[in-house]
């Protein structure tokens, strides 16, 4: 086992553990902190996958954008931080059946999929390659993304104004 493997397991444990805190904690702000560390762990895994640019984007957008937006949303909702956000368990038996079924399907899919393994990764800068591909091969999705962002901006502003 080499260092990248050990690092992977540490980051994976961090991600899963933090995600657990996020889901199970009673307090929304603690959930947000759990999310913070989960995002950080995912960024670490991206680095190990030789995706340096994506790792930074992960931090920039999810920690610097989504999480701040989320915390602002929590602060906006009066008393939300004092409420126990966990709901009660109801319909235990059907829930177990459904979740168990989904889990079985997922496990079956994971085990039967012929995963493509990259073999040994080449760690090299990806930013320029991304820029080049965006301007040539993936030009149309790139331009459509701008329209999507425009729609999102107008929609967000419109909804916020109604409140």
Q: What are the angstrom distances between the C-alpha of 101 and each of 70, 98, 108?
A: 32, 5, 11
Q: How many CB atoms neighbour CB 23 within 10 A?
A: 11
The residue among 95 and 150 lying less far from other proteins, judged by its C-beta, is: 150
The residue among 64 and 100 lying less far from other proteins, judged by its C-beta, is: 64
**Which of 20, 64, 100, 101 forms a contact with other proteins (CB under 8 A)?**
64
CB of 13 to other proteins, least distance (A): 15
Report yes or no: 8 and 48 within 8 Å, Cβ to Cβ.
yes
Contacts of 47 (CB under 8 A, 6+ apart): 55
Residue with tokens 């109801």: 90
**Interaction between residue 77 and other proteins (CB under 8 A):** yes
**Interaction between residue 123 and other proteins (CB under 8 A):** yes
Report yes or no: 81 and 31 within 8 Å, Cβ to Cβ.
no
Window contacting other proteins (CB under 8 A); options: 49-57, 93-101, 103-111, 112-120: 49-57
**Which of 12, 14, 45, 56 forms a contact with other proteins (CB under 8 A)?**
56
Q: Coil, helix or strand for 145?
A: helix
Residue 157 has, within 13 A of its CA and on its CB side, a CA count of: 6
**In the complex, which residues of this chain contact other proteins (CB under 8 A)?**
3-4, 29-30, 33, 36, 44, 47-48, 50, 52-53, 55-57, 59-61, 63-69, 71-73, 75-79, 81-82, 123-125, 127-128, 130-132, 134-136, 139, 142-143, 145-147, 149-150, 152-154, 156-157, 160-161, 163
């Amino acid at each position: 086992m080499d260092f990248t493997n050990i690092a992977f397991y540490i980051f994976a444990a961090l991600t899963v553990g933090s995600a657990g805190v996020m889901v199970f904690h009673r307090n929304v702000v603690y959930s947000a902190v759990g999310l913070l560390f989960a995002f950080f762990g995912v960024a670490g895994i991206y680095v190990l996958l030789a995706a340096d640019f994506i790792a930074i984007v992960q931090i920039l957008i999810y920690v610097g954008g989504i999480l701040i937006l989320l915390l602002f949303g929590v602060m906006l909702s009066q008393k939300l931080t004092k409420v126990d956000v966990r709901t009660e368990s109801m319909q235990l038996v059907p829930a177990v059946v459904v979740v168990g079924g989904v889990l079985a399907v997922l496990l079956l899919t994971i085990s039967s999929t012929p995963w493509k393994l990259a073999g040994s990764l080449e760690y090299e800068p990806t930013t320029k390659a991304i820029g080049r591909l965006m301007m040539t091969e993936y030009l149309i999705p790139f331009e459509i993304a701008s329209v999507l962002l425009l729609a999102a901006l107008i929609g967000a502003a419109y909804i916020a104004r109604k409140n």
